[in-house]
Amino acid sequence: MERSFIMAKPDAVQRRFVAEIIRRFETRGLRLVGMKLIHPSRELAEAHYAVHRERPFFNDLVEFITSGPVVAMVWEGKDIITVTRTMIGATNPVNAAPGTIRGDLAIEMGNNLVHGSDALETAEKEIALWFTPSELLP
């Protein structure tokens, strides 16, 4: 089974959509193997978004993700990256299909509720950044 890192961002926590996000993944048959509520430090946020460091929106990403608590999760399932990214929807909620998390619940690109790993290699790095092995189910 493959694993992916999923994060309910500060706007999802604030708008009380965490349970809805979890429900959608569970209903799909995915297995939750790790979860924690955390208020990310600037250092953690910068490490998470390091790939975007040279982009003009980097500081906005870091400021947003550190603006409040997030729910960091690790999900497991077959074809997990494709499945979760399809369920999450396009980055810009305007382009997200109805039935996706962003298509149904998100309002704007900057506050798009949820992050999902974009590749298995990325997932491994993100999981290691946010979780210790002892925080995950076998």
Catalytic residue set:
115
Q: Distance between CA atoms of 38 and 22, rounded to whole angstroms?
A: 16
The CA-based dihedral angle spanning residues 121, 122, 124, 126, taken in that order and rounded to the nearest 10 degrees: 170
Q: Distance between CA atoms of 129 and 117, rounded to whole angstroms?
A: 12
- Pick from 77, 66, 74, 78: which is nearest to 117 by CA? 74
